[in-house]
Amino acid sequence: MALQRRAAAALAGAAGVAALAAGLSVAYSGAASAATGAPQAPAGCAAAPSSCGYPDATNTGITPGTTLKTVPGQVSSGPGWHFDPRGWVQADGAGAVLSGLSIPYNINVTAPGVMIKDVQVTTSGQPGISVRHANGLTIQDCAITGVNATTGRMLAGVKDMYGDSTGLAVLRTNISQAETGVQLESGLVADNYIHNTGYLPGDHVNGVTSNGGVTTLLTITHNTIYIDRSAATPSTAARTPAPPHPPASASPATASPPSTTPKAAPTAPPPPTAPPEPATPGPPTPGTPPAWPSPPPNHHPHPPTEPPTPPTSPTPPKPTPTSPTPPTPTPPPASVTARQRHLPSPTGR
């Protein structure tokens, strides 16, 4: 049985009181795992983690002074990456660098050695950044957030979709309004601020999670993670349907305007127009059956297990013989014509 690992650098309860972890390393090899202890944060750091030297909104996210360009309004491509008009940003060139961008879509990484730095990602329903068979990805000084903490929450801030990417690094990134902050199996998760987690009924909320599957080292160190479901009002509404998945190795997300981060205030682009609903097919061509015919009344899709018994011919009832009652002779009146006749009384007399 595969060994499952779940690691969180810090945890806050429903009341919002956080614990801060300075270091945690997890190595996975076969059926064994090992973890090194982490020193405890000083008391009273939950309200302002940076006052104790830990990550919060003041020291994570977009580097102050960075000017962001909106995608695709101001820029739609660069070396090794491009905006896909179906609704996501594709990073498919080895060593591609995405920097100084505001992206209201999912970023789908399928090439090795990609760098994502000073990028604002705002999306819902899907991961902010999805990794597919791509080693050596670095995500640094970014802000990744959902549209809101309920129906607009992200599936994850960063997610290794197949659990086979190695050498990943998530550093000094501000992640919020996601069911899971970071999910990966190998690399380094350090100096991040994961907070205001999203929640929909049925969610399994995580700060940082790993399910095993690789033998290389995963290090989770010096992060601030608040798991507070009370920050997201539970919604009984249905989940927002995810947009159609791209072919092969892409993962789209519903477009939405990015939100500003405490560390930087990038210009929020206008929300893109939602894709039109698919056209309703017209009536079938005359002479052809509809695509999904409705069964006729009393239709049985399967024959009965035993053949029905053939009906028998009904036997006509036998007439009951009755003795004829002789009519009582009555002299006809003078006015009766030849076509009139005497009718017997109902009693037969």
Percent of the chain with pLDDT over 90: 50
pLDDT 10s digits, 190-219: 999 999 999 999 999 999 999 887 788 999
CB 113 within 8 A of CB 61: no
Q: How far is CA 77 from the centre of its chain?
A: 27
Q: Is residue 208 a part of any domain in this protein?
A: yes
| 327 domain-assigned | no
pTM of the model: 0.61
Segment 52-107, tens digit of pLDDT: 999 999 999 999 999 999 999 999 999 999 999 999 999 999 999 999 999 999 99
- Which of 152-156, 238-242, 256-260, 275-279 holds the top average pLDDT? 152-156
- Residue 267 within any structural domain of the chain: no
What residues contact 212, with CB distance under 8 A and at least 6 apart? Answer: 2, 3, 4, 5, 28, 163, 185
Domain enclosing residue 195, as ranges = 11-21+64-231
Residue 74 lies in a domain: yes
User: Strand, helix or coil at 230?
Assistant: helix
Residue 259: alpha-carbon gap to chain centroid? 21
Number of compact structural domains in the chain: 1
Task: Let me know if residue 279 belongs to a domain.
Answer: no
Distance set, CA 213 to CA 1, 122, 141 (Å): 11, 29, 28
In a domain, 334, yes or no: no
In a domain, residue 171? The reply is yes
- Alpha-carbon distance of 166 to 135, in angstroms, equals 5
253 in any annotated domain: no
Report which of residues 9 and 96 the model is more confident about: 96
Identify the DSSP state of 111: S
